Amino acid sequence: AQKITQTQPGMFVQEKEAVTLDCTYDTSDPSYGLFWYKQPSSGEMIFLIYQGSYDQQNATEGRYSLNFQKARKSANLVISASQLGDSAMYFCAMRVPGRRALTFGSGTRLQVQP
């Protein structure tokens, strides 16, 4: 069975600072995909970034980057130069081959302070 663990229920960061949101995962499949989604207070789920288990490079999308450490089974999201609009819940999720379902972690609530 797959499992995603997000150990930080809440995080604070100052505007313009970088922040790292932790995510560890557990799967016996050698091939898998890791995702990060943002959920603002309005409730929608916004895709941020994807990392495949065989990708050689860490994924980056603008101010978002994924610090993928395969041996440690971690896929931490790094947000650089935080903005007030980054305040939201952030969910890490995983998909394994043969299944389309995403398994989500419990989320981290990020608050960016001016």
Return d(Cα 96, Cα 109) in angstroms, integer.
Answer: 26
Is the CB of 13 or the CB of 91 nearer to another protein? Answer: 91
Q: Exposed, middle or buried: residue 55 (CB in 10 Å: 0-12, 13-18, 19+)?
A: middle
Structure tokens at 37: 């989604």
Is the CB of 38 or the CB of 112 nearer to another protein? Answer: 38
Minimum separation from the CB atom of position 85 to another protein (A): 17
CB 65 within 8 A of CB 78: yes
Query: Which residues contact another protein by CB under 8 A?
Result: 33, 35, 37, 42-47, 50, 52, 91, 93, 95, 99-107
Minimum separation from the CB atom of position 61 to another protein (A): 11
Q: Which residues contact 62 (CB under 8 A, 6 or more apart)?
A: none
Is the CB of 49 or the CB of 112 nearer to another protein? Answer: 49
Minimum separation from the CB atom of position 102 to another protein (A): 6
Return d(Cα 19, Cα 28) in angstroms, integer.
Answer: 29
Minimum separation from the CB atom of position 99 to another protein (A): 6
Is the CB of 42 or the CB of 57 nearer to another protein? Answer: 42
